[in-house]
């Protein structure tokens, strides 16, 4: 039979327009407004909240991309180490015939294994909900394997789009992670660990850049 790589290529071509379209729609309809305004929103938030988001890595929007494409209403429901703190000042945009459309982002507190708090702006990549629902609709003929491939393709496409945007490239971090249970006793708080890993990587990257500068 065909190799896993060949199957992956067939799947990618078959649904290329789905993940590609979702990534572009997410950028054009949302991220291209929110990310360029993030620095100013964080500055205003810090003025009112004792510089809670003072380091550069916390000034980015951390976009969660679970490979399962399953999205939860409250991050605390899947990881008790993550708690909602506060919204940053909202952005108002006139768009698609809607006056003063509101874009909101949330600050969360993430506790590490020693219960030390870290703060950052986190949200799910909302288009993943469409990929998840497609695998529940028989007419879409969209399997769990298709969904994983599409989540990866969505992430690659979105990364390319954002890194090629001068206004967006330093205002985001894509947090892609495998959230499929590994067995019956699986209870490790995976998401907080993934977010903290990204925060620490960014801090290390900033430090390295500072040394080389």
Report pLDDT digits (tens) over 132-154: 887 766 555 677 788 888 899 99
Helix intervals (H) in the chain: 4-14, 16-26, 32-48, 128-134, 144-163, 190-212
Question: pLDDT at position 211, please?
Answer: 47
**Is pLDDT larger for residue 99 or for residue 183?**
99
pLDDT at 97 over 80: no
Question: pLDDT at position 57, please?
Answer: 75
Question: pLDDT at position 185, please?
Answer: 56
Q: Using an 8 Å Cβ cutoff, are 157 and 44 in contact?
A: no
Query: Model-level pTM?
Result: 0.85
Report pLDDT digits (tens) over 18-34: 889 999 999 999 999 99
| Number of DSSP helices (H) and strands (E) in the chain, helices first | 6, 7
Q: Which fold has domain 4-212?
A: Rossmann fold (3.40.50)
Residue 135 region by backbone torsions, left for phi larger than 0, else alpha for psi between -120 and 50, else beta: alpha
* % the chain with pLDDT above 90: 56
Report pLDDT digits (tens) over 192-206: 999 999 998 888 776
**Is pLDDT larger for residue 97 or for residue 64?**
64
Torsion of CA 25, 31, 32, 37, to 10 degrees: 160
């Amino acid at each position: 039979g065909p190799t896993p790589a060949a199957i992956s290529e067939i799947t990618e071509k078959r649904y290329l327009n789905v993940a590609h379209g979702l990534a572009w729609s997410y950028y054009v309809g949302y991220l291209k407004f929110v990310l360029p305004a993030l620095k100013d929103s964080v500055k205003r938030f810090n003025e009112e909240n004792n510089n809670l988001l003072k380091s550069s890595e916390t000034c980015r929007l951390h976009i969660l991309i679970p490979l399962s494409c399953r999205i939860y209403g409250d991050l605390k429901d899947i990881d008790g180490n993550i708690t909602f703190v506060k919204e940053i000042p909202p952005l108002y945009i006139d768009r698609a015939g809607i006056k003063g459309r509101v874009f909101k982002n949330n600050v969360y507190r993430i506790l590490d294994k020693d219960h030390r708090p870290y703060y950052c702006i986190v949200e799910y990549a909302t288009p993943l909900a469409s990929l998840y629902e497609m695998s529940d609709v028989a007419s879409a003929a969209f399997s769990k394997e298709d969904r994983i491939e599409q989540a990866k393709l969505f992430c690659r496409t979105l990364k390319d789009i954002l890194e090629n945007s001068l206004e967006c490239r330093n205002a985001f971090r894509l947090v892609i992670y495998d959230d499929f249970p590994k067995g019956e006793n699986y209870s490790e708080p995976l998401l907080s660990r993934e977010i903290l890993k990204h925060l620490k990587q960014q801090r290390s990257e900033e430090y390295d850049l500072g040394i080389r500068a």
